[in-house]
Amino acid sequence: RIVTMEMKEKKNTIQSVERAISILKCFENHQRLGITEISKMLALHKSTAFGLVGTLEYHGLLEQDADGKYRLGIELFRLGTHVQIDLRNIVLPYLDELLRQCQETVNLVIREKGNVVYIEKKESPHSMRICTKVGQSLPMYCTAVGKAIMAALPGTELEEILEDTEFTKYTENTLQSPEQVKQQVEEIRKAGYAVDREELEYGLVCVGAAILDLNGYPLGAISVSGPATRMTEELIARSGKLLHEYAGQARRKL
């Protein structure tokens, strides 16, 4: 919830720093905002908001799009990767267990705007493996982990992502519109996990589940992926059940 900038007396706090922090928090439920929108949300004079936003942009904490609106900057993501160490440490034992039980490649991803970034991967013992790598960024709408995260997002945030998404057709199975994504999102919410059936790459099937914080907001997602020849309907269902279970256990340890 965004509060107005009627600054109360607080010990050891600096007004301008508090205002800058409040500007960044405006983007919790909005992917992109303009100066006028920010100033109204925080009851700030437009010139004050302009100066603060400019400073945040200079330091890479905000980025400006061609239409003049702002989004969170890559510097925040870089700093945030240090925080993700705790998430990785919590999830690693579950990835090991998933690998043992499913015998297919397992992954941990976090969200970066409309993409997911792979921050951990454990390879299948089979000789035929999946060609993802740590640090790789892929679109949310055509990956199981991405769709699982989308299904856990607030409605307004999901709408903003879909509005900014350029739908590329990677295969005949790739989702091609916001409406198709929303339809799958409803199915994912009921099932507790998402499935990518050769939507990014022919021959690749992936099952994913989101890891939520205590407020129900997605911090990332875990997945099991393998060749379509090995990812039978039975394995997809079993992987989905395990992913949902382990994501829930990881949430309780956050």
Average pLDDT per consecutive 10 residues, the chain (254 residues; last block may be shorter): 43 84 89 93 93 94 93 79 72 95 94 89 78 83 96 91 92 95 95 96 95 89 95 96 95 85
pLDDT at 82: 59
What per-residue confidence (pLDDT) applies to 2?
A: 43
Whose CA is closest to 196, among 186, 214, 184?
A: 184
What does pTM read for this prediction?
A: 0.67
Cβ count within 10 A of residue 111: 21
Asked if 134 and 112 touch (Cβ cutoff 8 Å), the reply is no
